[in-house]
Amino acid sequence: MRLKREQPIGIFDSGVGGLTVAHAIKQLLPNDTFIYFGDTAHLPYGDKSAESILHYSKKIAEFLLEKNCKVILVACNSASAVAFSSLNDYVGEKAVLMNVIDPVVEHILQNKTYKKIGVIGTKATINSGAYEKKIKEKRQDIEVKSLATPLLAPMIEEGFVYDDISNAIIRAYLSKKELKNIQSLILGCTHYPIIKNQISKFYNFDVEVIDSARIVANDLKRTLISKDLLRSEGKTTNQFFISDYTPYFEKISKMFFEEAIHLTKIDLWR
């Protein structure tokens, strides 16, 4: 089946994190519609086994394919790190499959000034070594320092942002020796842009904090143009699905999209 411009873009994450990417996509691709799935029943993915992450990801990909999506964007670093290859085989040519790691790596490779980079993310992402492996394959001159920060995603999902609790946790992680003297920091989890300002403030804004959302949205736009799948006109109606209701998801979605968001709860594993 030939993909068409008017088909929606499918985006999924374990929770609210992927909304940072969805928001950037809406700003950059105003004529395209998207379907977002937040797997809030199983968050966070970062402390799950690779088998569990792949199982959840396949079911969501199947759902998005049933919704006739032309693109399935894995807007979760943990799923991008450990499940993407298997998902690629599963999705095949039924949709364009993309992740949030490769565009960031490409961004790093193109900038010759990077020499010492930090990466923070979930246990699944950091243990996979995805960022370090992909960067070192092409740029041996870059030193990559990785640190698992497993409390950050659930902290954000629970609504602890811009307060003393979140600042203390951020400070405890970023003070570790693994991240000493870095030039830039990759936010290796799509939840983390929500606390980007707090992270930048810890470094007195002297360290470049690399937010994947805009980078991924630009990469998606280039991909759609290259495949003649960019929608240039038409009414947009975005849809939001969750596997379990959480009050903070609704709060964050309204903050990003500045409008009342209708959340549809659906259990794909029933």
Active site residues: 76, 189
Q: Are 196 and 187 in contact (CB under 8 A)?
A: yes
Report d(CA 70, CA 43) in Å as an integer. Answer: 26
88: how many CB neighbours lie within 10 A of its CB?
13
Residues 6+ apart with CB under 8 A from 213: 20, 21, 23, 24, 190, 193
Can you list the alpha helix ranges (DSSP code H) found in 41-144? Answer: 50-66, 77-82, 84-91, 102-110, 123-128, 130-138
What is the separation of C-alpha 132 from the centre of its chain, rounded to a whole number of angstroms? Answer: 17
Report d(CA 201, CA 261) in Å as an integer. Answer: 31
What is the separation of C-alpha 115 from the centre of its chain, rounded to a whole number of angstroms? Answer: 24
Structure tokens at 175: 């003070």
